[in-house]
Amino acid sequence: MRSVSVIGGGISGLSAACFLAKDGLDVTIYEKNDTIGGRCRVFQEKGFTFDMGPSWYWMPDVFEGFFTHFNKTAADYYHLIQLDPGFQIILGKDDILLVPAEMEELRQVFEAREKGSAARLDKFLSEAAYKYRLSMTELVKTPAYSWLEFAKAPVFRSMFKMNLFSSVRTYVRSYFRDPGLVALLEFPVLFLGAMPNRIPALYTLMNHAALTQGTFYPMGGMGRIIDAMQHLALSLGVKIQTAAAVQKLNISNGHADSVTINGHTIKADAVVAAADYHHVEQQLLPAAYRNYTEEYWDKKTLAPSCLIYYIGLNKKLSKLQHHNLFFDTDFEQHANEIYTHPRWPQDPLFYVCCPSKTDPSVAPSGNENLFILIPIAPALNDEATLRDVYFNKIITKLETFCGESFKENIVVNKSYGISNFMSDYNAYKGNAYGLANTLRQTAVLKPAMRNKKVNNLFYAGQLTVPGPGLPPSLISGEIVAGQVLKQLKKLKYESAF
Ligand SMILES: Cc1cc2nc3c(=O)[nH]c(=O)nc-3n(C[C@H](O)[C@H](O)[C@H](O)COP(=O)(O)OP(=O)(O)OC[C@H]3O[C@@H](n4cnc5c(N)ncnc54)[C@H](O)[C@@H]3O)c2cc1C
């Protein structure tokens, strides 16, 4: 039985492992932390369950598609519900945009803010649906080694309809003028790690996910996705070793023979590196075998990092919804402080997730579970005193919004930032979401899924194709498994002669 070592037990590593084990390979995941899940891990304290990273469950079709490969459904593992409202955007003191799940209600929200916009929304969303479908069927599941992979008739036919060469900003503003509606339609691409003026309008396909498909939540929390995948992986025979940091990839004659873990050498027929790409290349691989230099990485546009607070409150807050986006400050200035002149933001916009609004299991009765996230530039100086400054800033703002004080009610208070991303995940410059999906960092222009000098070493995860986010990382595991299987067959064939 051929063996594959998977480095990293995040969603991409788990996904790759499941596909490889299904095809009869002997698969072991090596994860440096004590628990798997990577950026989608969970921690528990004083009766609260905190999702440490992702909180938006978008593109349920991608998760469902994954489980279908194994004759399962997501419902075999967790109970998914659609949130209504999906989320709220706080645009100003008295200006709150609630985003309903029902399309007719959403049309009314649009019409109330800008006359004639409901009809334009129909057209906008039908174009977004078209881009989403074409991307999912023709674009997203290729390893992107060459542009030729995209040279398919449906792609050529739709070149102009895909809006590759205009930006999200230009495209959205050609439809809508109301600043609230513009903010609503531009916000989903922030997940892609760059400003709407730098992201191709192709990615308004995210509006199909956000507004037509809707925002979902797995009861019990996002960690349930990882529990489900772990359950599936073990049932397929995958072995999972935690507290097992890979220290070295051992290469001879352009072939990865083994990995070194805690001083032990473990042989493998192929390796899937599903830990941060830069870490694997720069720290685990000898220099001669790297795809990219340090200069290459330094020139890349990273998606933002973030400063997070996990807060347990022994009271309820009535004004919060499950998802709350505080866009009531100067967005351009904060964006400048992330991308153009990286520094700590003066007056940041921020996001608050309050899953206890939906799920009583994530907080003790009568309590509230808060996840507060401030996007920041990667590689900033991450100091405890600064974390205190921002904590006070944001809590004061939240108290004003909620119309009640709650500082005294905080019973759990943990922060997480750049230095934690580095130490927990070996994240380059403390990145949270990998590389920005700008046009110059899309498809073939992303770090490649295969090592060009080591014939049985492949990469998966948010830093390679298709990109950051849970659904793309899940897909990345599927694509890489296909590449490994193909290569192992080829090597077997070659060794027979
Ligand atoms: C704060 C935050 C919020 C997010 N919000 C959302 C959201 O709402 N919705 C969404 O879809 N996506 C969201 N994302 C993005 C999503 O979480 C990631 O894109 C995805 O989880 C990345 O998965 P991965 O497998 O590529 O990497 P990871 O999850 O980081 O997994 C890599 C694993 O490799 C391990 N590792 C590192 N070095 C070694 C080594 N030497 N040996 C062994 N193991 C090693 C790490 O410990 C880690 O477990 C968010 C991310 C963050 C950080």
Higher pLDDT, 442 or 457: 457
pLDDT at residue 200 in the model: 86
Q: Closest ligand 1 atom to the C-alpha of 461?
A: 26
Q: Is any ligand 1 atom within 6 A of the Cβ of residue 260?
A: no
Ligand 1 centroid, distance to 38 Cα (angstroms): 5
pLDDT at residue 75 in the model: 98
Q: Are residues 10 and 63 in the same domain?
A: yes
| Pick from 86, 89, 80: nearest CA to 103 | 86
| Pick from 432, 422, 338, 415: nearest CA to 371 | 415
Is 395 domain-assigned?
yes
Ligand 1 centroid, distance to 74 Cα (angstroms): 20
Q: Is any ligand 1 atom within 6 A of the Cβ of residue 7?
A: yes
pLDDT digits (tens, 9 = 90+) for 401-424: 999 999 999 999 999 999 999 999
Q: Are residues 231 and 327 in the same domain?
A: no
Q: Closest ligand 1 atom to the C-alpha of 470?
A: 11
Q: Is any ligand 1 atom within 6 A of the Cβ of residue 216?
A: no
Q: Are residues 317 and 373 in the same domain?
A: yes
pLDDT at residue 153 in the model: 62
pLDDT at 162 over 90: no
Q: Are residues 403 and 438 in the same domain?
A: no
CA distance 186 to 304: 16
Q: Is any ligand 1 atom within 6 A of the Cβ of residue 443?
A: no
Ligand 1 centroid, distance to 13 Cα (angstroms): 10
Ligand 1 centroid, distance to 421 Cα (angstroms): 9
Q: Is any ligand 1 atom within 6 A of the Cβ of residue 88?
A: no
Q: Is any ligand 1 atom within 6 A of the Cβ of residue 14?
A: no
Q: Is any ligand 1 atom within 6 A of the Cβ of residue 306?
A: yes
Considering the chain, what is the average pLDDT of its residues? 94
pLDDT at 144 over 70: yes
Q: What percentage of the chain reaches a pLDDT higher than 70?
A: 98
CA distance 296 to 261: 28
pLDDT at 89 over 70: yes
Q: Are residues 378 and 308 in the same domain?
A: yes
Q: Is any ligand 1 atom within 6 A of the Cβ of residue 378?
A: no
Task: Ligand 1 pocket test: pick from 187, 431, 470 the residue with the most ligand atoms within 8 Å of its Cβ.
Answer: 470
Q: Is any ligand 1 atom within 6 A of the Cβ of residue 188?
A: no
Q: Are residues 399 and 490 in the same domain?
A: no
Q: Are residues 403 and 415 in the same domain?
A: yes
Q: Is any ligand 1 atom within 6 A of the Cβ of residue 462?
A: yes
Q: Are residues 208 and 232 in the same domain?
A: no
Ligand 1 centroid, distance to 461 Cα (angstroms): 8
Is 100 domain-assigned?
no
pLDDT digits (tens, 9 = 90+) for 15-41: 999 999 999 999 999 999 999 999 999
Q: Closest ligand 1 atom to the C-alpha of 247?
A: 41
Ligand 1 centroid, distance to 426 Cα (angstroms): 10
Ligand 1 centroid, distance to 400 Cα (angstroms): 33
Instruction: Kindly state the average pLDDT of the residues 274-278.
Output: 98
Q: Closest ligand 1 atom to the C-alpha of 261?
A: 42
Q: Closest ligand 1 atom to the C-alpha of 424?
A: 47
Is 410 domain-assigned?
yes
pLDDT at residue 457 in the model: 98
* Confidence at 160, pLDDT banded by 50, 70, 90: low
Task: Ligand 1 pocket test: pick from 5, 39, 307 the residue with the most ligand atoms within 8 Å of its Cβ.
Answer: 39
Higher pLDDT, 54 or 167: 54
pLDDT at 159 over 70: no
- Residue 239 is part of a domain; what is its CATH number? 3.50.50.60
CA distance 345 to 333: 8
Is 101 domain-assigned?
no
pLDDT digits (tens, 9 = 90+) for 46-88: 999 999 999 999 999 999 999 999 999 999 999 999 999 999 9
Q: Are residues 392 and 445 in the same domain?
A: no
pLDDT digits (tens, 9 = 90+) for 308-360: 999 999 999 999 999 999 999 988 888 889 888 999 999 999 999 999 999 99
Give the closest residue (by CA) to ligand 1 atom 33: 8
* Confidence at 145, pLDDT banded by 50, 70, 90: confident
In 236-383, which ranges are continuous DSSP H helix?
Answer: 277-279, 294-299, 331-335
How long a stretch of residues is the chain? 497
Q: Can you read off the two tokens belonging to residue 358?
A: 């939906």
Q: Containing domain of residue 31, as a range? A: 3-79+220-300+434-495
Q: Can you read off the two tokens belonging to residue 157?
A: 């036919």
Domain boundary residue among 176, 193, 213?
A: 213
Is 289 domain-assigned?
yes
Q: Closest ligand 1 atom to the C-alpha of 15?
A: 25
Give 3-state DSSP helix, strand, coil % of the chain, rounded to 5. 45, 20, 35
According to DSSP, residue 297 is labeled H
pLDDT at residue 57 in the model: 98
Q: Is any ligand 1 atom within 6 A of the Cβ of residue 279?
A: yes
pLDDT at residue 236 in the model: 98
Q: Are residues 344 and 491 in the same domain?
A: no
Q: Closest ligand 1 atom to the C-alpha of 8?
A: 34
**Number of domains making up the chain:** 3
pLDDT at residue 156 in the model: 64
Is 129 domain-assigned?
yes
Q: Are residues 313 and 386 in the same domain?
A: yes
According to DSSP, residue 303 is labeled P
Q: Are residues 307 and 419 in the same domain?
A: yes
Domain boundary residue among 213, 228, 262?
A: 213
Domain boundary residue among 425, 447, 481?
A: 425
Give the closest residue (by CA) to ligand 1 atom 19: 469
pLDDT at residue 117 in the model: 98
Is 98 domain-assigned?
no
Please report, for residues 286, 292, 423, the alpha-carbon distance to residue 282 in angstroms, rounded to integers and kept in the order given.
8, 9, 15
Q: Is any ligand 1 atom within 6 A of the Cβ of residue 162?
A: no
Ligand 1 centroid, distance to 40 Cα (angstroms): 6
The region of weakest confidence among 44-48, 187-191, 242-246, 325-329 is 187-191
- Residue 128 is part of a domain; what is its CATH number? 1.10.405
Asked if 279 and 10 touch (Cβ cutoff 8 Å), the reply is: no
Is 88 domain-assigned?
no
Give the closest residue (by CA) to ligand 1 atom 16: 469
Q: Is any ligand 1 atom within 6 A of the Cβ of residue 11?
A: yes
Cβ neighbours of residue 148 closer than 8 Å, sequence gap 6 or more:
none
pLDDT at residue 463 in the model: 96
Ligand 1 centroid, distance to 481 Cα (angstroms): 18
Q: Is any ligand 1 atom within 6 A of the Cβ of residue 51?
A: no
